[in-house]
């Protein structure tokens, strides 16, 4: 495996960096990957929406997708470069829409690909994923949201929870129960217009205080049959594909953590305590060096994951590994940052005494969810241990 980038790929990296230099606000400290921080304020939402549309104009949102669906037909490595740079800069160009588009490209009809994927590639629409329910979190196959088939549609009744950014979404990729007698083979994926009659939402604040999650209630919501993705009762295939996409999110958090590490290093260079720069403290240097080592390991694992994807190899085990290691490493970055900054680290961004814009407190709190969201660390370890990993038998 040779993880060195070609001259063409490095030129693309510079293109992406120039794009962010031009489009991001001056002095931008960055936000977490994913859409959550769009709910921090109207200002953050408008910045994210503008960046989303600008990225669509440059064909950055579907780099590997076929050109007929708005993509570039580029390599996995080109897509990896864009995602790395976006995560490192904390640029608001992450959304659940590309994940939904991947499912539609894999399982959808030609009409669905043109109707749903092209607007995503152009940055014109935003999506959310309706997967978790009050009794179907880690055990996703316990989904109860009922979809009853009628002559021309399915009628949905039930609810979803922890749906990130649903209140900003135009469409929802929703996993429903179409066969109450078959837990694993009785699920169906449908695309739901988020403005459909019968949908109500309640925002839920995360530990950071940002109300980015939603409870979504479906009261006799009608969904046209042409919005079924794949086959009726074929949702298990889509779910397994979605798990691999979602758990590779750990790689994005690592590049985000790399920025936090660089910000901490700069803070230590500039901060003087008792007449001596903080960067000369032996313990501080040791902690930063350890974080740098762990982040480098995660990045190398991410390169291996991308190499496997580029060569058509199974990525279930590798994506689960990066999910585990990435989440734990990000938590250590926040923890070490709070230790180094002391009381300054606990200040909110609006305090005049805040350092690094209050970002260390934010990542310290937000990273708590990284070993829970998208499947718990324990679930990911089961995937590593299972038939596509170590080949161990299922738990009984």
In the chain, domain spans: 7-94, 127-233, 248-385
Owner of token pair 């038998």: 393
Which residues contact residue 372 at a Cβ distance below 8 angstroms, ignoring those fewer than 6 apart?
A: none
Q: Give the CATH superfamily of 7-94.
A: Acyl-CoA dehydrogenase/oxidase, N-terminal domain (1.10.540.10)
**In a 3-state reduction of DSSP, which class is residue 192?**
strand
Encode the chain (396 residues) as per-residue pLDDT tens digits. Answer: 667 889 999 999 999 999 999 999 999 999 988 788 999 999 999 999 999 999 999 999 999 999 999 999 999 899 999 999 999 999 988 888 999 999 999 999 999 999 999 999 999 999 999 999 998 877 788 999 999 999 999 999 999 999 999 999 999 999 999 999 998 899 999 999 999 999 999 999 999 999 999 999 999 999 999 999 999 999 988 887 777 666 566 778 899 999 999 999 999 999 999 999 999 999 999 999 999 999 999 999 888 888 888 888 888 788 888 888 988 999 999 999 999 999 999 998 889 999 999 999 999 999 998 888 777 888 889 888 988 788 898 775
The phi and psi torsions of 97 (rounded to 5 degrees) equal: -60, -50
Q: How much is the pLDDT for 318?
A: 85
In the CATH scheme, what is the code of domain 127-233? Answer: 2.40.110.10
The pTM (predicted TM-score) of the whole model is 0.89
Q: How much is the pLDDT for 117?
A: 97
Q: How far is the C-alpha of 251 from the C-alpha of 322, rounded, in Å? A: 6
Whether 7-94 and 127-233 share one fold: the answer is no
Q: How much is the pLDDT for 379?
A: 83
The count of other CB atoms within 10 Å of the CB of residue 395 is 7
- Per DSSP, the residues of 167-196 read GG-SEEEEEEES-TT-TTT-EEEEEEETT-
In the CATH scheme, what is the code of domain 248-385? Answer: 1.20.140.10
Q: How much is the pLDDT for 144?
A: 95
Measure CA 82 to chain center: 14
Q: Are strands 127-130 and 171-177 parallel, antiparallel or unpaired?
A: parallel
């Amino acid at each position: 495996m040779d993880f060195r980038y070609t001259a063409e790929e490095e030129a693309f990296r510079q293109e992406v960096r120039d794009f962010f230099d031009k489009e991001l606000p001056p002095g931008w400290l960055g936000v977490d990957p994913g859409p959550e921080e769009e709910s921090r304020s109207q200002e953050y939402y408008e910045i994210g929406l503008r960046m989303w549309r600008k990225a669509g104009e440059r064909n950055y949102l579907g780099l590997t997708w076929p050109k007929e669906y708005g993509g570039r037909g580029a390599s996995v490595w080109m897509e990896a470069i864009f995602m790395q740079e976006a995560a490192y800069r904390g640029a608001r160009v992450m959304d659940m829409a590309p994940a939904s588009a991947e499912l539609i490209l894999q399982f959808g009809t030609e009409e669905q690909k043109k109707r749903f994927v092209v607007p995503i590639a152009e940055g014109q629409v935003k999506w959310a994923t309706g997967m978790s329910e009050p009794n179907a979190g880690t055990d996703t196959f316990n989904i109860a949201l009922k979809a009853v088939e009628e002559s021309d549609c399915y009628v949905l009744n039930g609810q979803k929870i922890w749906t990130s950014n649903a209140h900003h979404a135009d469409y929802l990729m929703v996993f429903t129960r179409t066969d109450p007698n078959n837990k694993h083979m009785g699920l169906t994926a449908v695309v739901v217009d988020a403005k459909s009659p019968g949908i109500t939402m309640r925002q839920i604040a995360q530990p950071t205080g940002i109300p980015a999650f939603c409870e979504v209630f479906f009261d006799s919501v009608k969904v046209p049959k042409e919005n079924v993705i794949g086959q009726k009762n074929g949702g298990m295939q889509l779910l397994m594909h979605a798990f691999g996409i979602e758990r590779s999110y750990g790689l994005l958090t690592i590049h985000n953590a790399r920025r936090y590490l660089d910000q901490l290093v700069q803070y230590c260079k500039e901060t003087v305590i008792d007449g001596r720069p903080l960067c000369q403290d032996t313990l501080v240097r040791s902690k930063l060096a350890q974080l740098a080592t762990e982040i480098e390991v995660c990045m190398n694992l991410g390169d291996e994951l991308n190499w496997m994807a580029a060569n058509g190899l199974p990525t279930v085990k590798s994506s689960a590994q990066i999910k585990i290691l990435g989440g734990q490493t990000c938590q250590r970055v926040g923890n070490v940052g709070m230790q180094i900054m002391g009381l300054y680290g606990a200040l909110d961004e609006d305090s005049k005494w805040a350092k690094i814009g209050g970002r260390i407190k934010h990542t310290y709190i937000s990273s708590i969810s990284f070993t829970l969201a998208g499947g718990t660390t324990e679930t990911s370890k089961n995937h590593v241990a299972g038939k596509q990993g170590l080949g161990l038998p299922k738990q009984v």
